[in-house]
Amino acid sequence: MGLFFHFGRGQRPPLVRGSTFGERFLRFMLLVLVFAVSGYGFYWNNTRVIETMSARSSVYDPAKLLGGDERDALLDFVKLFKDEFGMTLRIVVSEEAVALPELDSKTVFVGVAPATGQILVELPPLAVKALGPDFVTRLQSETFPPYYEKGEWKQGLVVVLKTVWQGLIGGA
């Protein structure tokens, strides 16, 4: 309580100054409020930066085949999957053949190689159980190829993602 009372001669004055106890207490509480608001602002900013960084790492396009708007739309899909289902969506667009990385049980992986027309979709075990074992096969062999043949692989990628989304929302 040394912050609220004046000390004798030769001693340091309190950190929070005021003419009455109530004024010193109010100033102290305002000082605490400033620190609390600053701490919350720091926490909020760091959370937002971490979310942005993890979303950006979820769309991997080393060949820069996607434009800025297309990449932003895919980042929105990543955020939607995380918010709605708690799943991580990883999208890889590569000039070479796409290899399936090691995934955890909550990751949806979609890899596209436009040069070869390859699309690789991998769903978590629980999603496969909900959508059926042939869901991924239909995506890879029926849904995507017509778009690739027309040269619209980007639109095909979006249709595949929407189909997965609708399947998870509707259950098949």
How many other CB atoms are there within 10 angstroms of residue 53's CB atom? Answer: 10
pLDDT category of residue 172 using cuts at 50, 70 and 90: very low
What is the per-residue pLDDT for 135? Answer: 93
CATH code of the domain made up of 61-170: 3.10.310.50
Of 25 and 9, which is predicted with more confidence? 25
Task: Using the structure block, give the residue that is written with the tokens 């239909």.
Answer: 138
Minimum mean pLDDT range among 3-17, 43-57, 104-118, 148-162: 3-17
Cβ–Cβ < 8 Å for 87, 130: no
Nearest one of 85, 90, 58 to 167, comparing CA atoms: 85
pLDDT digits (tens, 9 = 90+) for 81-105: 888 988 889 999 988 888 888 888 8
DSSP H/E element including 9: none
Stated pTM of the model: 0.67
Q: Give whichever of 6-15, 38-47, 94-103 has the largest mean pLDDT.
A: 38-47
